[in-house]
Chain A
Amino acid sequence: MRAVVTVTGTDKRGIIAKVSGFLAERDVNIEDISQTILGDKFAMIMIVDISDSGKKIAELAKECEEMGKSIGMSVRLQHEDIFYAMHNV
């Protein structure tokens, strides 16, 4: 099952390392990654596969949210279907 991880907040060093390490620890595989910096605002989007993690998507979403708080960023993990539904005719 695929999900989308978004990380937004003020740009700082080590965000990608922290987030990708966190996902690797949970056997979440990163399939695609892109990032944008607008002024001092950082936005990173990852497409990930959570099939091997053994965890429910809601559980991972909660862990991501908590990890985000610990690094002062907003980190969300959502089922990819919400984006397909909203942005495809």
Chain B
Amino acid sequence: MFNKFDVLETIDMIEKEHLDIRTVTMGISLLPCIRETADKTAQAVYDKVCSKAENLVRVAEELSAEYGIPIVNKRVSVTPVSLITAPFAADSARVGLALDKAAKTLGIDFLGGYSALVHKGMSDYEETFLRTIPEVLASTDRLCSSVNVGSSKSGINMDAVRLMGEIVKKTAELTKEEDGKGCAKLVVFCNAVEDNPFMAGAFHGVGEADTVINVGVSGPGVVQHALSFIPEADLTDAAETIKRTAFKITRAGQLIAREAAKRLSARFGIVDLSLAPTPARGDSVAHILEELGLEVVGGHGTTAALAMLNDAVKKGGVMASSRVGGLSGAFIPVSEDIGMIESAEAGKISLDKLEAMTCVCSVGLDMIAIPGDTPATTIAAMIADEAAIGMINNKTTAVRVIPAYGKKVGDQVSFGGLLGRAPVMPVHTGDAGKFIRRGGLIPAPIHSFKN
């Protein structure tokens, strides 16, 4: 049973503290859509996505009205496209365009899965596919792309890392009129997960059922608010409060996930426990860390505070849901979090501190604007550093940086909406070109041999 204070607490969470279901994402397998030509495959892909997700938006809106909790995004993730276009990889863009069209037909803002998994090796058709990414992101609006270049089990494919440095740079150039927005839709992963509901890195893994509902909950504002009541508590008690709050948030997510799956005739996949910020005030992960006692996010102590937050969120969430998955950790995208934006604008947070933060939370160097003249090899080196953190620590890491074409440190990029804005941050200028050009595979770490 619940009492009247429980009811009022829920109402306050929703109305004043930005509690919402951040995304209901339908994962759809494209494996049955493989045909003998690119055009026929593209048509089969369009038809399947539009048919399976036909009621996604309607059902999400229905659930939102019934339970009185906002569901912000409705999205679709699909099987990595490189797997279904292998025989005609050079024409993969046809499938990309069909997916973008499907997203528009369905009325969803993003669709993820223009992806490839090349963490151990890259075949010719995969390399051809990767080279289509910049053009495809420049000619579509809602399609998201991700590439897995490493894993704890396989090591890091440095040939793919090198290529991705060039692809990020090229994507920025082709979308320079929109401040490099194409790069906001492109994630380079190590240890990518197959059931992530969040964009831009969502794709539907090959080990998944045909149609699955994954839900991403949110609620940085709720956690911050709960902590604001205990300003003098020690960190053990603060962790306990975060845990209890995460439990409640996750329960709401699980309820929506179960109901959505039932009504959409799909499997209930997972609830992703990530705290996902938005540029709105009161919806910031950075402000939680500041509530814990940091003057500003990015200073010394940030990594420790974030580690505690991330762990407490997981503990509360795992207790609340029988099916936890996805990325499940606090997100720290710079352009999408008002606290991070303000710290970056004031020069209080550096790329080095952000890199340290990625060691203790999900996911990586995320939504960071860098100077437009940053060499592709430097971007590749940033990817390699993040992949190494992920590989050694058995966690997902990623890089989603935006080289701001024609802009330098201190200038600003602005994407609007959930993607937000960010100042161009300085990168180290030491040249990593020779290291990157060596290529090959960084072997898997010794602790990956567990069999």
- Chain A positions within 8 Å of B, measured between CB atoms, are 4, 6, 8, 34, 36, 43, 45, 57-58, 61-62, 74, 76-79, 81-89
Q: Which residues from chain A contact B62 at a C-beta distance below 8 Å? A: 58
Closest to A35 in B: B4
Determine if B10 and A83 form an interchain contact, defined as CB atoms under 8 angstroms apart: yes
Bound complex: CA A43 to CA B3 (Å): 13
Q: In chain B between 175 and 206, which residues have their CB closer than 8 angstroms to a CB of chain A?
A: none
B36 on the A face (CB < 8 A):
no
Determine if B2 and A78 form an interchain contact, defined as CB atoms under 8 angstroms apart: no
Q: Which residues from chain B contact A81 at a C-beta distance below 8 Å? A: 67, 255
Q: In chain B between 46 and 68, which residues have their CB closer than 8 angstroms to a CB of chain A?
A: 62, 65-68
Bound complex: CA A84 to CA B3 (Å): 10
Given A6-B7, A81-B255, A82-B252: A87 and B2 interface contact (C-beta under 8 Å):
yes
Q: In chain B between 1 and 53, which residues have their CB closer than 8 angstroms to a CB of chain A?
A: 1-2, 4, 6-11, 15
Determine if B4 and A34 form an interchain contact, defined as CB atoms under 8 angstroms apart: yes
B254 on the A face (CB < 8 A):
yes
Closest to B252 in A: A86
Bound complex: CA A86 to CA B11 (Å): 12
Which of A6, A36, A58, A88 touches B11 (beta carbons < 8 Å)?
Answer: A6
Given A81-B255, A84-B2, A85-B254: A6 and B65 interface contact (C-beta under 8 Å):
no
Q: Which residues from chain A contact B263 at a C-beta distance below 8 Å? A: none
Which of A4, A76, A85 touches B255 (beta carbons < 8 Å)?
Answer: A85
Bound complex: CA A82 to CA B65 (Å): 12
Q: Which residues from chain B contact A45 at a C-beta distance below 8 Å? A: 4, 7-8
Bound complex: CA A81 to CA B69 (Å): 12
Determine if B7 and A58 form an interchain contact, defined as CB atoms under 8 angstroms apart: no
Q: In chain B between 351 and 386, which residues have their CB closer than 8 angstroms to a CB of chain A?
A: none
Which of A8, A43, A78, A83 touches B66 (beta carbons < 8 Å)?
Answer: A78
Measured CB to CB, the closest approach of chain A to B1, in angstroms, equals 8
Pick 23 A–B contacts, CB within 8 A, sort by A.
A4-B7, A6-B7, A6-B8, A43-B4, A45-B7, A57-B66, A58-B62, A61-B65, A61-B66, A74-B15, A76-B68, A79-B68, A81-B67, A81-B255, A82-B67, A83-B6, A83-B10, A85-B252, A85-B254, A86-B2, A86-B6, A86-B251, A87-B248
Q: Which residues from chain B contact A4 at a C-beta distance below 8 Å? A: 7
Determine if A58 and B4 form an interchain contact, defined as CB atoms under 8 angstroms apart: no
Determine if B10 and A86 form an interchain contact, defined as CB atoms under 8 angstroms apart: yes
10 smallest CB-CB distances across A and B, nearest first, come from A78-B68, A58-B65, A87-B6, A87-B2, A85-B255, A85-B251, A82-B67, A86-B248, A83-B2, A45-B4
Scoring B15, B68, B254 by chain A CB atoms within 10 A of each residue's CB, the highest score goes to: B68
Q: Which residues from chain A contact B6 at a C-beta distance below 8 Å? A: 83, 86-87
Bound complex: CA A29 to CA B370 (Å): 60
Q: Which residues from chain B contact A82 at a C-beta distance below 8 Å? A: 10, 67-69, 252, 255
Scoring A4, A58, A85 by chain B CB atoms within 10 A of each residue's CB, the highest score goes to: A85
Q: Which residues from chain A contact B4 at a C-beta distance below 8 Å? A: 34, 36, 43, 45
Q: Which residues from chain A contact B251 at a C-beta distance below 8 Å? A: 85-86
Bound complex: CA A79 to CA B259 (Å): 12
Measured CB to CB, the closest approach of chain A to B322, in angstroms, equals 13
Measured CB to CB, the closest approach of chain A to B400, in angstroms, equals 32
Bound complex: CA A59 to CA B15 (Å): 20
What 1/0 flags go to B241-255 for Cβ under 8 Å of A?
A: 000000010011011
Closest to B19 in A: A86
Determine if B2 and A88 form an interchain contact, defined as CB atoms under 8 angstroms apart: yes
Measured CB to CB, the closest approach of chain A to B72, in angstroms, equals 16
Bound complex: CA A62 to CA B68 (Å): 10
Which of B11, B15, B67 touches A79 (beta carbons < 8 Å)?
Answer: B67
